[in-house]
Each structure stands twice: as structure tokens, then as C-alpha cells.
Chains A and B, each alone.
Chain A
């Protein structure tokens, strides 16, 4: 099994900036698969969702596997039904599989 980096994704402006920096840094450094854990997000947070989307775009570009982990009733309803994520057509990148569409619901062991 490939080593993975799990990044916790809390919400809040400072946390979003921090998550963005962390993801950008990880994606610049290598090709280690990245798992983003959204289980810690208490409330749906559009800026954080946008950061994840942006990370996925760079991950595709660099050939890095990136997936979203964790689930919750609020997040599922919000992301899929209200925010309108989880549609492979939305980002316009041919062949991309939206991480929301394939996100895992179990928490794997994380390692930095």
C-alpha cells in the first residue's frame, strides 16, 4: 500500500489558508498520495471545499493521487445536494474523477 499523507481539513479563514499552504507544499514536493480528511469539518465551509478542488486540480496535473476521506450527514447533504459538488462535469477537466464522487467513508491510518 502506498504511503499517504493525510491532511486534516478544519474550517475557518486561518485554517483554510493554512490548509492551502500545506497542500500546495505537499504537491510541490513529491508524488506521495494525499488523503484529505474532512471528518473534522463541523460545518460545511465553501472556502475549504474550493481549496480541496484546487488541490485536486494540481494533483491531476502532477499525477498525484488525491482523495477525500471522512463523511458526515451534514457534509454529504451539503456537498452533494446544495453546494452541487460531486458531478464530474463541473470542473471541465476531461477524464478527471471528482474526489467527492469517489470519497471514502472509512478513516485509514494517517501518517505524515
Chain B
């Protein structure tokens, strides 16, 4: 990657994050149009986007952001009100900037005419509302203010720089700056990462106190006070004697040292580098497995302890690396606020997105891939779950519908729920539609869960059905496929809010898992360990009527014979083992010849030629260099023991 590409990449990444922040702040502002802090946040985002673009040389973007920023400057000065139209315009302006940045990322020429057109066509409307001549905030009188700027103790860690603050103040008036170092301890007592200095600034301005406060808008992570001085007071005359100043500092409510040392310093690393690191750790895990196997075979007292140490270290390294890839899902959730807002507006509905568990962490790769299915579910909740405001009021509900997006961790999995407080599933209509489509026979008696399951049947989602059953089946089979490709599950049912609840369960990571290595004939398979509950000797238990059901302590448990499933030649041994796993809430057995043991499994995707192999979700390389297939226990359980070909797809669950 060239230096220029790296620079562009940095800009695209930073600008993308800023635009996300802008969008979040705007959506918040829309809810609280009178909140000056919300206005300030929007202004700060726009200002930073402008500065960031200018710094990277994208003057067109900077200029565009500057125009919008001006509108919010007027809002802050009370010359312009926050209206839905203004928020909408700004959101679309953000989209425009995002599009242009996307052009930058793709090395396309930045479309300046497009920006100008947008400026005239979209922002122009805002500009007309602004009566800049009526500003009148400057009273023309020269006034003197004294500013105390006291950074927090962790200021250095968060990149404290006084220069931008002074630069902004100098735009407002004439400044004199004095650094106070009374609190700096002698060098042998100094913790160099702690900030002990503070500044006193005297400014003469005709812009009024608001202008001074505006200039200090970016003074984050600091305690700032502004007080007007008598204009005749000599510069820094307000400085208290050194001893008194020191006392004041001691009493000032600065953050504690502990807070400073736990600062938020972080390092930005590209996802590609992390992927490379995970790949390398994967290779290391494979090599370590080989070493362990050799050590076991040799029984050499010198090699065995070394192999054990390597195994322990590899395991720790694996956990650390996978932990680095974990990111909070809240960032993804934040994007759906806009989806709900825009879609409800288009549909003439009113909806509010409620987010819970945004701090729940998930592998970045999983988050990237779950984004689209979630959009689908959120759109379904608004489009088909929620009623119109009139219908809601007629049903005694508030006109504003709720869509709840929640995440939480549960035993090696992350559960994501999308729930609405609409009318819920219309099971009669779903069943009627399924019968009409020939998905189920007319006389079939189905449980409530089985009817909901019909929504995932391929072909269920026709335009006619969409109308008649509130469109609950739109693309759900496709959504489920994506989730299952992530080794997850998707179910739909009744929610606690009276509407519909879609629940996704996905594993924490896609890179390396703990697996149970099993053998069937000459082949080896991996069963994800988090699903495994116990292993039983098959002959020691009754099988019912010769069918694929084992009697486990009085409870019938269906099982799948991997030998038949994968057409493995040869006779099964007399004593087979059933590995009992929990799949979709049900217990299912997978019958194998032998259980080899636990195995750290580096997941490799299957090549195109084997990608569509049913019942297999990936592969891994074993210590001896052979390949083991990773079982897709959900599909195997659903399709059953080869039944997909023989009896029309009856499965275990």
C-alpha cells in the first residue's frame, strides 16, 4: 500500500466514524431540538469533518461541511430553529458527504458539481431560513474576559493540545496566554503522563461572551471557566498570588489519578492486519497440534513438557488475539436508528428504536456479516410489525411504535433480539397462506411454533402472501441462511411487548473454536464443543422400534448416523457412540465410531467445489496434516439422517 493510499484510508476511516457520530447526534437532536448540548455535538461533528477533510486536502468536502456548519452556528446563536426539515436536510447532507468519501475511497474523481448541486438544492433551502443580517450578537463594545483552562490529569493521554484552542480564541479577539506551572512537581516526583499545568487566557473581544464560549467548544476533557473582567484591568491582573493559585488548583475538581491512568488511549489497527494475525495464530494452533501429536508419540521427557508449554501459550495467545477482534455491537445498532426513522417516515408510521446491550461484544467478522440480516429484521418490524398511528390509537396503544433491538451474551453465544410492539403474528393467515402455497396439507395440525416456522419456508414469501399475512415471510429464508452460515440460528415468535420477536443466536467468533474430534471410518469430523452435552454408548441404550431414536433415561432422543449421512463405506463397529448435542433447544444425537477428544479448531472455509456440501460448515487441519470437516449440526439435525433424499426432508428438530 502506498503512503498516499494509507493516507486516504486513514481519512476514509476517520470521516466514516465522524459521519456516524453526526448521524447519531442528529437523530438525538431530532428528539431534543431544544437541547443545546445536542446542537453543540452536531456542530462539533460538522466542524471536525470540515477540519479533517481540509487536513487531507479535500477542500470541496470541507467547504460543503462548512456551509452546513454555518447553519448550526446560527442555531447556536438562536437565529435558526431546529426543525425536522433542518435535521432531514443535514442527514441527507451527511449522506452526500458519505457518497463523496466513498468516491475518494474507490479512487474515483470527487464529483464537485454534485456537491455544488446538493449545496444549492438541499442546503440552499436551509440557507434561506437564515437571516444573517439579523444576527446582531456583536455589540461592537470591546470587552475583556479571563479564561481558565484546566485540562484533566489524563489530558496528555487524550492528546491535549492548547494550540487549537488558542487558534479559535484568536479568531474572536486578541489573546494573551499564560501557562501556570505551580502544580508541576519536581522531576523525580513527576509522573510524565499526568498533566499538571493549566492556562490562563485574557482575551479582548467585541464578539461578546457567547463568542468566547463558542471558541472554547472544542476544549474537551478540561474544566473551563470564563469570567468578564473590567476592561481597564491590566493583563493577567486577575491572577491570584502564586500560593493562592496553588490552593485553588488543589481544590479544583480534577479527575483522580486513577482515572488518568485508566485513560482511553487506544491504537487504531486495520481489520486486514487483525485478520492476518488471526490467520497466523490459526497456523500456529495447527502447528502446535502437530507438535503435541509428535510429543505424545515420542514420549520423550524433554519434548513433552515443551509441547505442553507451547500448547498453553498458544491457547493464551489465541484467546488474546480473538479478544482483540471483539467489538461492541452498539456501533452497529446505532446505524438502525436511521433505518427506523427513515422507513417509518416513508410509511406514514411513527416508530422509536430502543437499544439494549450495545456494549455486548462480538467478533468483528461476525458483526460485519450480521449487519444485513439485522437490517432486514428491523425493516420487517417497522414495515410489517408496527401498525399505523391511527390503528395503534384505535387499539388503545400509543401512536409511536417501539422497536427493541437488544443483545446479550449467553454461554458462548450472543443473542440478538429484534422485537416490536405491533399486533404480532397472524397465525391463521400464515397457515392459510401455507396451505394455499402447498407448503403444508390442509388438514395438518401444527403447533404455534411450527406455524411460525412456516415463515422460513422457501417460496412462502410471495407478493400475495405479503399482503395477507403482513409480509412476515419476506426473505426470511434468505435471512436464516445467512445466519446459519455464521453457525447461528434464527427463530421468530411472540415477544413480551405483544408483538413479534425475532431472535438470532450466533457464536462469539468465527475464527477458532473448541471442537470435539470424532471418527467415522477413516474420516474425522469436528462437532462444535459448545453444543455438546454428553456422549453415550449406543448399544447400551434402547433404540425405539429400530428408528433413529435412542431412549435416554426414559426420554426419546433422535439421532443422526454420520456414516449414513456422508455415505462412508465400511461396516459400523459393534459399539457406536452417540454424541448428544443441544440444537435449536432440542437434544440430538450424532452417531460416530469413536470420540478422539477435544480439539482447538481453526476454521477454514471450504473451497467452491465443496461449499454446498450439506451438513458441513467448514474444515480444519489436524495435527497429522489431514483434514477434518466441521459439522453444521443445525442443518444435520434439521435434515435428519439422510432423510433429505429419502423421505422429503423430515429432520430431528
Contacts and interface: CB of A to CB of B under 8 A. Distances in A.
A13 interface: yes
A57 B161 contact: no
Interface in A7-60: 13, 16-17, 20, 23-24, 27-28, 44, 46-47, 50-51, 53-55, 57-58
B239 interface: yes
Given A44-B163, A84-B178, A50 B242 contact: no
A31 B188 CA distance: 15
A92 interface: yes
B197 A46 contact: yes
B179 interface: yes
A82 B169 CA distance: 11
Contacts of B196: 50
A44 B161 CA distance: 9
A84 B235 CA distance: 13
Nearest to A28: B188
B246 A27 contact: no
B186 A58 contact: yes
Contact of A91 (B161, B177, B182, B190): B182
A78 B166 CA distance: 10
Contact of B193 (A27, A47, A84): A47
B192 A20 contact: yes
A109 interface: no
B243 A92 contact: yes
A46 B160 contact: yes
Given A24-B188, A46-B197, A47-B193, A90 B181 contact: yes
Name which of B180, B185, B188, B195 has the most chain A CB atoms within 10 A of its CB. B188
Contacts, number: 96
A90 B192 contact: no
Given A83-B162, A92-B242, A27 B188 contact: yes
A89 interface: yes
A51 B193 CA distance: 10
Interface residues of B, number: 34
Contacts of B236: 89
A61 B177 contact: no
B559 to A, nearest CB: 60
Contacts of A57: 184-187
A92 B179 CA distance: 11
Interface in B219-276: 236, 239, 242-243, 245-246
A87 B179 CA distance: 8
Interface string B191-235: 011011101110000000000000000000000000000000000
A82 B186 contact: no
Q: How large is the interface on A (under 10, 10 to 19, 20 to 34, 35 or more residues)?
A: 20 to 34
A47 B280 CA distance: 37
A68 B240 CA distance: 28
B156 interface: yes
Nearest to A25: B188
Contacts of B182: 90-92
A105 B652 CA distance: 84
B245 to A, nearest CB: 7
Contact of B190 (A20, A28, A44, A84): A20
Question: Counting chain B CB atoms within 10 Å of each CB, which of A27, A53, A90 scores highest?
Answer: A90
A84 B189 CA distance: 23
B187 A58 contact: yes
A1 to B, nearest CB: 25
A83 B177 CA distance: 7
B163 to A, nearest CB: 5
Contacts of A24: 187-188, 190
Contacts of B162: 46, 82-84
B163 A78 contact: yes
B274 to A, nearest CB: 23
A50 B162 CA distance: 13
B245 A50 contact: no
Nearest to A93: B242
Interface in A57-112: 57-58, 61, 78, 81-85, 87, 89-93
Contacts of B180: 90
B185 A54 contact: yes
B186 A54 contact: yes
B177 A82 contact: yes
Contacts of A27: 187-188
A54 B163 contact: no
Contacts of B167: 82
Nearest to A66: B187
B91 to A, nearest CB: 37
Contacts of A46: 156, 160-162, 195, 197
B178 A87 contact: yes
A51 B187 contact: yes
Nearest to B189: A54
A84 B192 contact: no
A20 B187 contact: yes
Contact of A50 (B166, B184, B188): B184
A61 B186 contact: yes
Interface of B: 156, 160-163, 166-167, 177-182, 184-190, 192-193, 195-197, 199-201, 236, 239, 242-243, 245-246
6 contacts: A50-B190, A57-B186, A82-B166, A89-B178, A89-B236, A92-B246
Given A51-B187, A55-B187, A83-B179, 18 more contacts: A27-B188, A53-B184, A54-B185, A54-B190, A57-B184, A57-B187, A78-B163, A81-B177, A82-B162, A82-B166, A83-B162, A83-B163, A84-B200, A89-B236, A89-B239, A90-B178, A90-B179, A92-B242
Interface of A: 13, 16-17, 20, 23-24, 27-28, 44, 46-47, 50-51, 53-55, 57-58, 61, 78, 81-85, 87, 89-93
Q: Nearest 8 CB-CB pairs, A to B? A: A92-B242, A84-B179, A84-B177, A58-B186, A54-B187, A24-B188, A55-B187, A92-B182
